């Protein structure tokens, strides 16, 4: 097995592990706000140690400070939405919604920036919206209790989809401005962690070691997902489509297996159709 494939497997595993940790947070009564705050501190330290960013690279007239500030606000906000999505809708829907967010930048390029779109990409977008509709469909009322699930089962995955899509657009704007990736990523982590810390201090939360330790685990796997995905692209420079498709399909597939088998998350036939449509959309989207 080549190093590139190993990096891909590691990236998929790290991504799904983040969702699993968020799922377990409720079971063990972990304060996800404290965990997410520590997550960004750990991710920032790992980014500094491994990617070795040069902060001076940000001191240019072209640095998009407004975009970086927006990322500092959105990153923790969407992470909290992801935690709520996993809690209310499960790993399967949440991971799939996150991966389908990659179609938002494509749609924005077409609608907002006037970029041409091929029939293949248009078909992929339509499939992605069909997949999202199937995944977010609320189950019928329980036959025994007569009650239907709360709106969180579709609202939070929808927030994850939209949030990660906007984050993707913002990161692309940072890259378009010529900002060094590692330096921009480090600043985004620092801003996100600082904002969460200020919020929790204002709320006067009671800090506990177990919440912070959970955050350390979150930070390791969160940064591990980013690092191994970068390394996969570097190891397979001639196969970007393989990396793109394998990563997104791998997360959806593994997330489905873990959610359904390990956590017994109920899936309807319509939800299953949504998973299939999501995989088909990613295949069409990949630059083969």
Of residues 149 and 222, more confidently modeled? 222
Q: Encoding tokens for residue 36?
A: 């997410």
**Average pLDDT score over residue span 127-132:** 95
CA angle 11, 184, 174 (to 5 degrees): 95
Residue 140 pLDDT exceeds 70: no
Domain boundaries, the chain: 3-139+149-285
User: On the CB side of 38, how many CA atoms lie within 13 Å of its CA?
Assistant: 20
Task: Confirm if 94 and 82 have CB atoms less than 8 A apart.
Answer: yes
**Average pLDDT score over residue span 130-135:** 94
High-pLDDT (> 70) share of the chain, %: 95
Backbone angles phi, psi at 29, to 5 degrees: 55, 50
Residue 164 pLDDT exceeds 50: yes
Predicted local distance difference test score (pLDDT) of residue 288? 63
Distance CA 105, CA 96 (A): 16
**Average pLDDT score over residue span 75-94:** 96
pTM for the full predicted model: 0.91
């Amino acid at each position: 097995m080549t190093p590139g494939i190993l990096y891909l497997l590691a990236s998929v595993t790290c991504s799904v592990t983040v969702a699993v940790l968020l799922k377990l947070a409720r079971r063990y009564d972990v304060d996800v706000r404290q965990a997410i705050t520590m997550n960004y501190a750990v991710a920032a330290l790992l980014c500094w140690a491994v990617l070795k960013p040069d902060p001076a690279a940000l001191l240019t007239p072209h640095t998009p400070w407004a975009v970086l500030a927006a990322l500092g606000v959105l990153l923790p906000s969407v992470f909290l939405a992801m935690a709520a999505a996993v809690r209310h809708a499960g790993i399967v829907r949440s991971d799939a919604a996150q991966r389908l967010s990659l179609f938002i930048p494509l749609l924005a390029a077409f609608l907002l920036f006037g970029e041409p779109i091929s029939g293949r990409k248009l078909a992929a977008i339509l499939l992605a919206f069909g997949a999202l509709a199937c995944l977010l469909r609320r189950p019928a009322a329980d036959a025994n209790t007569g009650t239907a699930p709360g709106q969180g089962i579709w609202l939070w995955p929808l927030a994850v989809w939209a949030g990660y899509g906007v984050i993707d657009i913002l990161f692309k704007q940072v890259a378009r401005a010529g900002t060094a990736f590692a330096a921009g990523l480090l600043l985004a982590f620092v801003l996100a962690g600082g904002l969460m810390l200020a919020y929790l201090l204002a709320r006067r939360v009671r800090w506990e070691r177990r919440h912070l330790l959970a955050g350390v685990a979150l930070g390791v796997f969160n940064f591990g997902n980013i690092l191994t995905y970068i390394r996969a692209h570097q190891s397979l420079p001639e196969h970007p489509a393989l990396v793109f498709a394998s990563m997104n399909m791998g997360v959806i597939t593994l997330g489905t297996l873990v959610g359904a088998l390990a956590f017994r998350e109920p899936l309807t036939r319509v939800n299953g159709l949504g998973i299939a449509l999501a995989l088909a959309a990613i295949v069409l989207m990949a630059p083969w």
